[in-house]
Amino acid sequence: MLKHRFSPVRLVLLLALGLGFLEARPALAQDAHYWAQGYGARADLLGGVVVGSLLDLSNTYYNPGALPLLEDPSLLLGTSAFELLSLTVSRDTTPERKLSTITLRPLSSFVAIPVAGSWAISYLNRFSANYTLNSREVTDTGGVPGFPSDGVLVGEVLYEQNLTESWGGLTWSRKLRENIGFGFTTYGSLRTQSLRNQWFAEAVAPAGDAASLGRLIDYSYYDVGLVWKAGLAVDNSPLTWGVSLTTPILSLFGSGQAFGTRSAVGIDFTGDGVPDPNLIAIEEDGVSTTYHSPVSISGGAEYSFGNTSLFVTAEWYNAVGAYQVLDLPPFVVSTAGDTLFIDSYTSARAVLNGGLGVEYQVSKDFLLYGSVITDFSAASGNPDDLFTTSAWDLYHASLGSKFRVSTVSLILGFGFAFGNKSLDVSPTEEIPEPEPGESKYRSMKLIVGVQTGL
């Protein structure tokens, strides 16, 4: 991250833009939410609470140990989802000044194909996020320190992020006993992430005095790694249950770049009555990368009675200690009393998520689904973390159905997710009082899937 230590800069933006949450930097990486996406349309409608179920080839992800116990594993499973997302970050004292976005985007895809004997191959989008947040302001300088008096001040805050992480892998499984299965999946992972965070403020007075101040942070990188999932499943019908373990990602190689600037024109930083113009730019390219993910342990069960099946799953994710995503060399520059430097540290806290799902068989060819799950944020809360700071806890609910015609099944459903987070931010030492605010996350999801015999 690019940091500066000149508090009047922050004071200018606080007063000019009225955005008390600026230093909270509402980054939106969905890797702070491990249960944000489902894999396989049927599993997605059940909220992913299928670790203890003999479902279909989505078990390659949720619990590879269930595959050898499936009655008919010879299925091609294709699924996709689309999400309409609304995100707003506002301050209580100036609710009309807010960062907001409404986005319609593909959310995830999943495909799995059985191959010879005990093997299957699969592909999924583990994370996907693409956001742009901005806010603009036109006002008078109102005696803002360092800016011309009685002038017009224009400012903007912009945040952009694009994150994708894809897993493709090979699953092996076998029966340990007639009703016990074991399996593991080896995934190769490719993660790409870019983000851009910038702001500026410019002022002009009738007498011709002018001043401007701006800052830009821009990161991008990719990282290639390996990750393994192992699972055990037990079929004691009408009860089935299972456990699954996911290893941390083993980062193999990657590359990234970082760019940052801070500029000032017509601003008196030192207080001697003379403006102190300066421009600082930092650029690093071709640096090595590291990505750490947590170890996780999940357990779940399915119980069937009559035409109804109940599903339950819980999953614990360990914390991830602070580490540097981009291997950036130390770089410190001091001008006019200001200190500028780059870092790219991130971390995550331990979380436990759980949920309930239900499947009801209306007829042999028509089934209904519903689910409710938690999706607690793993964000550490460190304001200097640009990579995993979506700190709001989410709650998901889904409804849908499955229609079977001959050997083809169509799965169609809808999901809704929501979460709020109170913001108490003190952006400067001169203004220690918190600036209360709130972030609001709302999303609607369309789930479509097809299953067919090979």
pLDDT in tens, 251-308: 999 999 988 888 888 777 666 777 777 777 778 888 888 889 999 999 999 999 999 9
User: Which of 313, 316, 308 lies closest to 369 in space, CA to CA?
Assistant: 308
Question: Where do the domains of the chain lie, and which CATH numbers do they carry?
Answer: 2-453 (2.40.160.60)
The pLDDT value recorded for residue 6 is 38
Spatial contact of 291 and 254, defined as CB atoms under 8 Å apart: yes
Residue 299's DSSP bridge partners are 243, 314
Higher pLDDT, 356 or 211: 356
Helices (DSSP H) in 283-415: which residue ranges?
A: none
Spatial contact of 127 and 179, defined as CB atoms under 8 Å apart: no
Could you report the per-residue pLDDT of 152-175, keeping only the tens digit for each? 878 888 878 888 899 999 999 999
Distance of alpha carbon 395 from alpha carbon 418, whole angstroms = 6
pLDDT computed for residue 423 by the predictor: 58
pLDDT tens string 231-265: 999 999 999 999 999 999 999 999 999 888 888 88
Find out whether 426 and 19 touch, Cβ atoms under 8 Å: no
In which element (H, E) is residue 367 found? Answer: strand 366-375
Q: What is the arithmetic mean of pLDDT over 348-361?
A: 95
Peptide bond preceding 238 in cis form (omega within 30 of 0): yes
Q: Any residues with CB less than 8 A from the CB of 406 and at least 6 apart, and which? A: none
Residue 23 in this model has a pLDDT that exceeds 50 = no
Strands (E), 141-272: 152-177, 180-204, 210-236, 239-246, 250-265
pLDDT score at 142? 67
- The identity of residue 186, as a single letter, is T
Q: Output the six-digit token pair for 359.
A: 């499947």
The angle formed by the CA atoms of residues 52, 57 and 63, to the nearest 5 degrees, is 35
- Alpha-helical regions (H) of 150-191: none
pLDDT higher than threshold 60 for residue 2: no
How far apart (Å, rounded) are the C-alpha atoms in residues 12 and 144? 6
Q: In this predicted structure, what is the pLDDT of residue 330?
A: 60
Which residue in 452, 413, 431 sits closest to 83, CA to CA? 413
pLDDT tens sequence across 52-92: 999 888 899 999 999 999 876 555 555 566 667 676 666 55
- Do residues 49 and 302 make contact, with C-beta atoms less than 8 angstroms apart? no
Contact 405, 365 (CB under 8 A): yes
Q: How far apart are CA 80 and CA 61, in angstroms?
A: 16
Q: Give the Cα separation of 254 and 332 in Å (integer).
A: 25
Structure tokens at 307: 């035409």
Tell me which residue of 352, 357, 364, 353 sits closest to 415, measured CA to CA.
357
CA 329 from chain centre, in angstroms, equals 27
Token pair 């009655």 is at which residue? 71
Tens of pLDDT, residue by residue over 108-118, are: 678 888 887 78
For residue 60, give the DSSP letter. Answer: H
Percent of the chain at pLDDT above 70? 73
Q: Partners of 130 in the beta sheet?
A: 162
pLDDT tier, 222 (very low <50, low <70, confident <90, very high otherwise): very high
Beta-carbon-side half-sphere exposure of residue 453 (alpha carbons within 13 Å): 6
Residue 185 has a pLDDT of 97
Instruction: Give the residue with greater pLDDT, 208 vs 96.
Output: 208
- Residue 190: what pLDDT? 96
Q: State both tokens at 363.
A: 């007829």
Give 27's strand partners. Answer: none
Task: Measure the CA–CA gap between 318 and 373, rounded to whole angstroms.
Answer: 19
Q: What would the mean pLDDT of 189-203 be, rounded to a whole number?
A: 87
Q: Which value, in Å, is the radius of gyration of the alpha carbons in the chain?
A: 25
pLDDT of 401: 93
Q: For residue 95, what pLDDT is reported?
A: 53
Query: Do residues 371 and 397 lie in contact, with contact meaning Cβ atoms separated by under 8 Å?
Result: yes
C-alpha count within 13 angstroms, C-beta hemisphere, residue 433? 4
Q: What is the pLDDT of residues 392-440, one digit of tens each?
A: 888 999 999 988 887 777 888 888 888 877 655 444 343 344 455 667 7
Pairwise pLDDT comparison (355 vs 99), residue with the higher score:
355
pLDDT at 108: 62
Q: What is the rounded distance in angstroms from the CA atom of residue 75 to the CA atom of residue 216?
A: 50
Helical segments of 55-180, H only:
59-62
Q: Dihedrals φ, ψ of 274, to 5°?
A: -115, 130
Q: What is the overall mean pLDDT for the chain?
A: 79
Average pLDDT over residues 35-41: 83
Q: Between 135 and 371, whose confidence is greater? A: 371
